[in-house]
Amino acid sequence: MRHLLLLAAGALLPSLVLWPPAAAATQFFASGAVEHAGVHELARPARLSDAALAAGVREDAYVLGAAWLRPGLRMEQQRQQAGILFDLDHVRRQALASDRIALAEFCASLSAWLGSMPSTGRQAAPLDPRVVDVMPSANRPVAQGDVLYYPTRPSTIRIVGAVSRTCELPQVALQDARRYLDACPALPLADADWIFVIQPDGQVFRQGIGLWNRSTPLPLAPGAVVYVPLGDRLVRDVAPDLNREIATFLATQPLADPEAHP
């Protein structure tokens, strides 16, 4: 099974470095749909509103999918990723021991896919310049080496995880996340009762899709990802939080920018 998650992070991560500190300035990097891409220097204390103003966020920027990438969070996310890979290997080895070959192969494939993803340091936060400018609680401090990335608006959503193949589907306004699953067949290993929805701002929701637990309809914003988890019965004795941890890690991956990937 081949899983692909288009990332803008490949272009951004080389910029996730700590520049030498200036005496009274904070340096950050702006990328994507901004008028002034590159390194900027702001007087301290610098905040998100200052950074957005310096970057010149364009009118066509998709602010819901903007990403704040922070070097200080990368190590924590690397540990999270390592824990996920450890748990997947544990499930794989137990599957092999009990001759469940399909589960073992899926765990190996999922592990390779997740292991190839960068630790981005993404901090989930509102990044709409109009919001951070008027809401003090959202106007958080910017640290040395932070990256602000504003993609343009995508037109699709993605379904990943325990599916026969990764699916990229047209986003339909107000359509419940569950409805997209009809176009992306799940594997027999998939959980029949739950999915995880990762909205483009990094928020993660667990949605019930069974007849007994069906959640309130949850529309997907453009660029959202649906993670179809492994069946709970397959992982609960070894790694009961594995599926939620995978969804949380997927939320750290920035959107691909349609402008950068025609």
In this structure, what token pair is assigned to residue 250?
Answer: 């997927």
Q: What's the mean per-residue pLDDT of the chain?
A: 91
169 neighbors 183 (Cβ within 8 angstroms): yes
Q: Which of 10-19, 51-60, 251-260 has the lowest mean pLDDT?
A: 10-19
Helix (H, G, I), strand (E, B) or coil at 174: coil
pLDDT tens by residue, 61-102: 999 999 999 999 999 999 999 999 999 999 999 999 999 999
Residue 260 pLDDT > 80, yes or no?
A: no
pLDDT at 184: 97
Q: Could you count the other beta carbons within 10 Å of the beta carbon of residue 181?
A: 19
**Architecture per CATH, 9-68+122-150:** Roll (3.10)
Q: At what angle do helices 74-97 and 101-115 cross, to 10 degrees?
A: 160
Q: How far apart are CA 99 and CA 81, in angstroms?
A: 27
**β-bridge mates for residue 61, sequence order:** 152
Backbone φ/ψ region at 202: left (φ over 0), alpha (ψ -120 to 50), beta: left
| Stretch 216-222: mean pLDDT | 97
Domain limits, the chain: 9-68+122-150
Nearest to 160 by CA among 122, 129, 187: 187
pLDDT at 232: 95
